[in-house]
Amino acid sequence: MTKRIHPAFIAAGITFLTLVASAGYRSAPSVLIMPLEMAFGWSRDQISLALAINVLLYGLVSPFAAALMERFTVKKVVMSALTLVGSGAALTLTMTQTWQLIIFWGIMVGVGTGSMALVFAATIANRWFVQKRGIVMGALTAAAATGQLIFLPGLSKLAVDYGWKAVSITIASGAFIMVPVIAFFLKEKPSAIGIKPYGAPADWVEPPEITGGAATRAINAFRDGSHKKDFWFLIFSFWVCGLSTSGLIGNHFIPAAHDHGMGEVLAASLMVLIGIFDVVGTIASGWLTDRYDPRKLLFFYYFLRGLSLFLLPSILFSTVHPTTLIFIIFYGLDWVATVPPTLALCRTILGPNQGTVVYGWVFAAHQVGGSIAAFGAAVIRVKFGDYAQAFYISGALCLVAALVVLRIAKGMNAEQIRNL
Domain coordinates of the chain in residue numbers?
7-189+214-408
What pLDDT, on a 0 to 100 scale, did the predictor assign at position 1?
A: 41
Are 250 and 376 contacting, i.e. CB atoms less than 8 angstroms apart? no
Continuous segment of H or E residues that includes residue 193: none
pLDDT of residue 144: 66
- The sign of the CA dihedral 146, 152, 154, 158 is positive
The CA-CA-CA angle for residues 16, 299, 279, to 5°, reads 25
Residue type, 399: L
Torsion on CA atoms 330, 333, 339, 342, rounded to nearest 10: -50
Q: What does the alpha-carbon distance between residue 393 and residue 244 come to, in Å, rounded to a whole number?
A: 9
Q: CA 195, 199, 204, 205: dihedral to nearest 10 degrees?
A: -50
In the chain, count H helices and then E strands.
19, 0
The C-alpha atoms of residue 145 and residue 353 are separated, in whole angstroms, by 28
Helix axes 229-242, 339-350, angle to 10 degrees: 160
- Does the reported pTM lie above 0.75? no
pLDDT tens track of the chain, all 420 residues?
446 788 888 888 888 888 888 877 776 776 788 888 888 888 877 888 887 788 778 777 877 887 778 777 888 899 999 999 999 989 989 988 889 988 998 899 888 988 887 778 888 888 888 778 878 888 887 776 667 667 777 888 888 888 888 888 988 888 898 899 888 888 888 877 778 888 777 777 776 665 556 667 778 888 988 889 999 999 999 999 999 988 898 888 888 888 888 887 788 788 878 878 888 888 899 889 888 899 999 999 999 999 999 989 888 877 778 888 888 888 888 888 898 899 889 989 888 777 778 888 898 898 789 888 988 898 898 888 889 999 999 999 999 999 999 999 888 887 787 776
DSSP-derived letter for residue 198 is: B
Overall size of the chain counted in residues? 420
**pLDDT of amino acid 316:** 80
Distance of CA 404 to the CA centre of its chain: 21
Q: Could you tell me which CATH number the domain at 7-189+214-408 has?
A: 1.20.1250.20
Q: Please state, in angstroms and rounded to a whole number, the distance separating the CA atoms of residues 380 and 257.
A: 15
User: So what's the pLDDT on residue 367?
Assistant: 78
